[in-house]
């Protein structure tokens, strides 16, 4: 495992505890040991991402569920892509439907991967590894 990639923090926005648990377990089983910060609501996730305890330029990868109790995942996605720093953070959208309009909208807003639940965890972990690696490569020139 690339150490730079491991430095990437995974921010998971998922209101369903079961889904969150399954994602974490499967990531570990697939060998992704990055720190995972789980938020059960859109508000909490935004507070963290844009707050003082947030990434502040450290590399993050966002796992985003679209069906959140307090807002749509698209709202968070749009907010991320408007932010000068966070706009480079890769976003994986996770949702229960494979509605093509929803998928198109996700990609239009700038999501990197769109994954339909129940996930094939092998593909899922592969996507995360690649995106983490991609992130790490980009981070290299900025590293001191």
Partner 1 sequence: MPFTRTALGRATLALLLVGFLCLLGLGGATLWLVEQTRGFTARVEQTQLVRSLAYQALAQLQNLETGQRGYLLTQDRAYLAPYEEARARLPDLLARLAAVTVTATGRQMTGELGRLADEKLAELAETIALVDAGNLPGAVAVVRTDRGRRLMDEARLDIDRLIGTTTTRLTDATGRLVANARWLLWVTLAAIAVIVLVAGFSLWLFRRYAAELEQAGREVQAANAALERRVHERTADLEAANAEIQRFAYIVSHDLRAPLVNVMGFTAEFEIGVESLRALVDRVEAEAPALLTAEARTAAREDLPEAVSFIRSSTQRMDGLINAILRLSREGRRRLVPERLRMAELVGGLAKTVRHQLEERGAVIEVAPDLPDLTSDRIALEQIFGNLLDNAVKYLDPARPGRIEVRGRLDRGPVGGPAGGQAVYEVEDNGRGIPARDHERIFELFRRSGAQDRPGEGIGLAHVRALVRRLGGSIGCDSEPGRGSVFRIVLPRVTVATTGDDQP
Min separation Cβ 21 and partner 1, Å: 8
CA angle 15, 18, 22 (to 5 degrees): 115
Closest by CA to 79, choosing from 54, 103, 96, is: 54
- Residue number, 5 or 114, with CB nearest to partner 1: 114
- Residue number, 19 or 48, with CB nearest to partner 1: 19
Min separation Cβ 99 and partner 1, Å: 5
Min separation Cβ 101 and partner 1, Å: 5
CA-to-CA distance for 77 and 27, rounded, in angstroms?
22
Binding site for partner 1 (CB under 8 A): 16, 18-19, 22, 25, 67, 96-97, 99, 101-102, 105, 117-118
Please state, in angstroms and as integers, the Cα–Cα distance from residue 53 to each residue in 45, 48, 56, 58, following that order.
11, 6, 8, 11
């Amino acid at each position: 495992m690339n150490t730079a990639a491991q430095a990437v923090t995974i921010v998971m926005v998922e209101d369903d505890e079961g889904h969150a648990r399954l994602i974490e377990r499967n990531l570990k089983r697939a060998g992704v040991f990055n720190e995972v910060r789980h938020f059960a609501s859109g508000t909490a996730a935004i507070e963290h991402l844009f707050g003082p305890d947030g990434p502040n330029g450290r590399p993050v990868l966002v796992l985003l569920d679209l069906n959140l109790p307090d807002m749509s995942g698209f709202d968070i996605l749009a907010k991320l892509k408007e932010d000068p720093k966070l706009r480079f953070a890769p976003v994986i959208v996770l949702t229960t439907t494979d509605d093509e309009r929803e998928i198109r909208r996700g990609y239009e807003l700038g999501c990197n991967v769109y994954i339909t639940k129940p996930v094939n965890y092998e593909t899922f972990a592969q996507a995360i590894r690649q995106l983490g690696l991609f992130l790490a490569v980009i981070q290299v020139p900025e590293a001191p």
